[in-house]
Chains A and B, each alone.
Chain A
Amino acid sequence: MNVRTLIRSGLLAIGLVIWIASAGLAAGDDDCLTCHGDKDLKSGRGRSMFLDAEKFQASVHGQAEIGCADCHADLKKVKDFPHAEKLKPVDCSACHDQEAAQLKSSVHMQPHRVENPIVVTCADCHGAHDIRKKDDFESSVFSINIPDTCDRCHLERVKIKNGGAFVRQYQQSVHYKALQKAGLSLSANCVTCHGGHEVKAAGDPLSRVSRKFIIKTCGRCHVGIERDYLEGVHGKDYVRGVKDVPVCTDCHNEHGILSPTDLSSRVYATKIAAVCSRCHDDERLGRQYGFLTSRLKTYSASYHGTASKFGETRVANCASCHGFHDIRTSADPKSPINTANLARTCGQCHPGAGVNFAKGKIHVVSAKTESQGSHVAKIIYIVIIGGLISVFLLFIAADLFHRIRTRWTKP
């Protein structure tokens, strides 16, 4: 064997290896691309049948060397090309059986609207030939891109019960800002709260955003707050299954969750009273659960409440004294409004606050029984004001009467 034959057979061997290696990847796909590589290829209905091979190669399936016929399975049996125009829809469940099962039980696979039912399949969110891994920046399901992907349908095409504006509120939220502006991929996007493949209608009791699961859902990220909440009166009643008790979204809003320091937030210092009083001024709820009502009215009558109404943020609001996530009853020794803790609670703003802060009532519903001193002072003043003003008006009337009379009688 001379050197030449050695080189020749060596080259042949290398070529063979390359050929065999490349045959596994693209032998069939090249056949497909002879037609589908043509940019002008159109289906009978005019849809473009072009496949961008480069994009496919970059996709997760392309990278994994999955060929056309692996997904378009009925092509395996086809011998004559070009094949029939109509192929069976791709069945992802052959590989992704778990996800497919989840999707099947989701609202997307249930034709949930009677007329004009909509069914969402894998490709609607993930794309088809250009599917990328979810941590790929280009992926339609990359956490930062998810809102755009969902919004493709949920802003306009699919009318949800609360309307597109309700969905759009998310774009004002602190979660969206964190996602888009700060680039925090861990911030909540649609999927974080609603679930991905298993997404359920918000009204579905099994939905992650239903009353039953919302605390857990928010608590997945805000775990310390979940702990606090479950220790407070609201959380304890929530665990007992009380239907009227507020959950996260009742105070913080749903899509449009804003930072408490945001002027438009429902829990902004000057607005929080309105949120709390939705329940705590409700006579029916007060009777049912045995709490005192007229909280907003009595707060508004105080300097704190009045100043807050005029937009002053430094005065005490509900949360300043009662706490927020772990609100406790005044009987609870851990409560900031427990008599033993009042001096410290008031002392946050009033340095050196002593025991005198506790010697009186804050939410005075009936001054007659709860704050006699003020009540008596008020009555005295009302009598004095009423009396004096009456006397003034009588004197003025008499004076005018006299002037009119004398002018008439003495021309």
Chain B
Amino acid sequence: MDEAVIPPSLIRDDEVFLRMNLAERIQHILLIVTFTTLIITGLPLVLYEMKIFKALFAFEKAFYIRGILHRLAAGVMIANILWHVAYSIFTKRGRNNFMELMPRFKDAKDAFQVFWHNIGLTGFIYKKGLFKAFFDKHPYWLFKEEPEFGRYNFIEKFEYLGVAWGSLVMILSGFFMWNVELSLRLFPLWVHDIFIIIHGYEAILAFLTIIIWHMYNVHLNPEVFPMSKVWLNGKITGHELRTLHPLEYKKIAEERMRASAKTSETK
């Protein structure tokens, strides 16, 4: 279906769509709060040589409180994840979102295409008149167009699956670190040592991913700077939908056209 087929009146640019409903926004905020708490109370144990963390835990009983906070945040985060899992199983919207978030081959292709489109190397070579025959025959390799994304682009899918994977690893390893005696009843010490290594390094990975990747995409990216407000109001406009998630835009448009066709038929 071409864009030309969609009459602009069908989805106005200023029409507001709900991208994150209240439950999703609360889940996201809970994730922010618990994740930040876990990082602040946990990272000092991994980067124990950094003086800044010693200053952070200088007061009396600080280390004890740190442990309590860490476990508390972990508990809330696990509850939040359970809520999200139930939400993704038992609500239609949750199921739909979850299916939309599943990775497809297209996502790898999209990432590849976005990268080379942004670099623009092949376009530059083509302009210089090199490999003209090849590029004329295979215009894909010029990466002239940006790929069209659905409800979730490859960046968002990657982040979601990253959180899922990270949570699984952190909860499992953290559970055994929390219950050392149980862990060592089941595993030899060297396996427990691996849990500790995994918990620490996965934390660094998660922290860096959030700080670099997520912060760029939702804050520092000039397109949304200083911040995309979706996580607060959950709203996305028809214009944003058309430019950022064109496939979803088309899907909605198609549904509306079908619906209007149906109503005109019944008339």
Contact = CB atoms under 8 A, between A and B. Distances in A.
Label chain A's interface by main secondary structure: helix
Contacts of A405: 120
User: Which of B45, B63, B196 counts the most chain A CB atoms within 10 A?
Assistant: B63
A310 B119 CA distance: 47
Given A360-B192, A360-B193, A377 B222 contact: no
Contacts of A392: 209, 212-213, 216
Interface residues of A, number: 46
Contact of B120 (A361, A373, A402): A402
Contacts of A381: 197-198, 201-202, 204-205
Nearest to B48: A306
Interface stretch (B19-27, B32-40, B129-137, B180-188): B180-188
A357 B213 contact: no
Given A352-B181, A384-B205, A396-B212, A306 B189 contact: no
A182 interface: no
A351 B182 CA distance: 10
Interface string B113-128: 0110111100000000
A353 interface: yes
Nearest to A399: B118
Chain B contact residues, majority secondary structure: helix
Contacts of B184: 350, 353-354, 356-357
A187 to B, nearest CB: 30
A359 B189 contact: yes
Contact of B62 (A311, A372, A385): A311
Contacts of A378: 197, 201
A309 interface: yes
Interface residues of B, number: 45
Interface string B55-70: 0010010111010000
Interface in B195-240: 196-198, 201-202, 204-205, 208-209, 212-213, 216, 221-222
A350 B181 contact: yes
A303 interface: yes
B120 A388 contact: no
A399 B222 CA distance: 10
Contacts of A93: none
Contacts of A403: 222
A310 B54 CA distance: 6
B190 A398 contact: no
Interface in A373-403: 373-374, 377-378, 381-382, 384-385, 388-389, 392-396, 398-403
A371 interface: yes
Contacts of B192: 360
Contacts of A230: none
B88 to A, nearest CB: 25
A352 B44 CA distance: 29
Contact of A353 (B181, B196, B198, B205): B181
Contacts of A357: 184, 189
Interface of B: 44-45, 48-49, 54, 57, 60, 62-64, 66, 111, 114-115, 117-120, 180-181, 184-194, 196-198, 201-202, 204-205, 208-209, 212-213, 216, 221-222
Given A350-B184, A385-B208, A392-B209, 19 more contacts: A300-B48, A303-B45, A309-B48, A311-B63, A356-B188, A359-B189, A360-B188, A360-B193, A374-B197, A377-B197, A377-B198, A385-B205, A392-B216, A393-B212, A398-B115, A400-B222, A401-B118, A402-B118, A402-B120
16 contacts: A303-B45, A310-B54, A310-B66, A354-B184, A356-B188, A360-B188, A360-B191, A364-B193, A371-B190, A377-B201, A381-B204, A381-B205, A382-B201, A385-B205, A392-B209, A392-B212
